[in-house]
Amino acid sequence: MSNPKLRAILIDDEPMALTSMERMLAKYCPQVEVVGKTINPEEAVKLINDTGPDVLFLDIAMPKMDGFTLLKQIDDTNVQVIFITAYDEYALQAFKTAAADYLLKPVDKDELIKAVDKVSQLLESDTAQNYIANLFESLQSNKNNTSIGLPTMEGLDFVKTDAIIYCHSDGNYTEIFLNDKRKFLVTRKIKFMEEKLDASQFVRVHNSYLINLNYVEKYIKGRGGTVIMSNGDSIPVSVRKKNDFLDSF
């Protein structure tokens, strides 16, 4: 008796990447049946909820909705996920233990075969239960001492959360200032960063600023006041946020 097919959905904002993955699966992993594919993350949510696949081949960095945000919107918490990314293993430490597996672009056929075999084994075991919930629990537990993926115009940049001095809102974007003088422009609002970072370490002192308390050098009194950060930058404190900031120490 042949093994049942693994029903898969492919999600990647690059059409050529979708085509390549489908061809590789057909050639090297005949046990996988592609039941859907899309370049649109919003369409993917409906597709997943409607078809109930066994496994997702999911690109992490997509412009409209990243892979993690997509997973939060699906109904099936037992579907397995193989992340697809162009970033190296070092950058993936923040979530490598949480995924069923991940593949680096360009995808290697041997790594693809191993990832599919791993998913098959997981689906036959009890560990498949509540997979998505367990994934996010694992990511959350690692949040304070690992890297965070910053969605930029080019894709994702991974940095240590402890290296972030402060975040500055720039409309629908956010500037991230690091302790090595690097700066990133993130394609998300500052609320995104506030939700991703540890609330005991990062405090919103103004509608436009989220600061790392570990880098505060001085507070200057005023109606709201001003914070001087370790890099010398002056950050305004709003009247409404003043007490919350002072209570953090």
Q: Each residue of 142-162: pLDDT tens digit?
A: 544 467 778 777 777 778 888
User: What is the pLDDT at residue 230?
Assistant: 95
User: Cα(190)–Cα(193) distance, rounded to whole angstroms?
Assistant: 5
Same domain as 106, residue 50: yes
Domain termination site, one of 141, 156, 179? 141
Say if residue 65's pLDDT is above 80. Answer: no
In sequence order, what DSSP letters do the residues of 21-39 get, joined into one string? HHHHHHHH-TTEEEEEEES
pLDDT digits (tens, 9 = 90+) for 3-28: 678 999 999 989 999 999 999 999 99
Contact in structure between 237 and 245 (CB atoms under 8 Å): yes
User: How many Å is the maximal CA-CA distance in the chain?
Assistant: 77
Same domain as 186, residue 101: no
Same domain as 240, residue 165: yes
Same domain as 156, residue 122: no
| Percent residues over pLDDT 90 in the chain | 48
Higher-scoring residue by pLDDT: 101, 236:
236
Domain termination site, one of 92, 113, 141? 141
Higher-scoring residue by pLDDT: 20, 121:
20
Torsion sign over Cα 228, 202, 168, 176: positive
Contact in structure between 17 and 43 (CB atoms under 8 Å): no
Same domain as 175, residue 124: no
The H or E element that residue 15 is part of is: helix 15-28
Q: Residue 179, CB half-sphere, CA atoms under 13 Å: how many?
A: 14
User: What is the pLDDT at residue 97?
Assistant: 46
Same domain as 120, residue 36: yes
Residue-number span of the structural domain to which 70 is assigned: 6-141
Same domain as 133, residue 192: no
For residue 106, cis peptide bond before it (omega within 30 degrees of 0): yes
- Give the list of residues 6+ apart from residue 195 with CB closer than 8 angstroms, or none: none
Say if residue 181's pLDDT is above 80. Answer: yes
Inside any domain, residue 1? no
pLDDT digits (tens, 9 = 90+) for 184-214: 998 888 988 888 888 888 999 999 999 999 9
* Mean pLDDT calculated for residue range 162-189: 92
Q: Which two tokens stand for residue 24?
A: 């590789």
- Number of separate domains in the chain: 2
**Whether pTM exceeds 0.75:** no
* Mean pLDDT calculated for residue range 121-127: 72
Supply the CATH number for residue 78's domain: 3.40.50.2300
User: What is the pLDDT at residue 208?
Assistant: 96
| Percent residues over pLDDT 70 in the chain | 83
Same domain as 168, residue 58: no
User: What is the pLDDT at residue 91?
Assistant: 43
User: Cα(74)–Cα(57) distance, rounded to whole angstroms?
Assistant: 14
Domain termination site, one of 141, 170, 205? 141
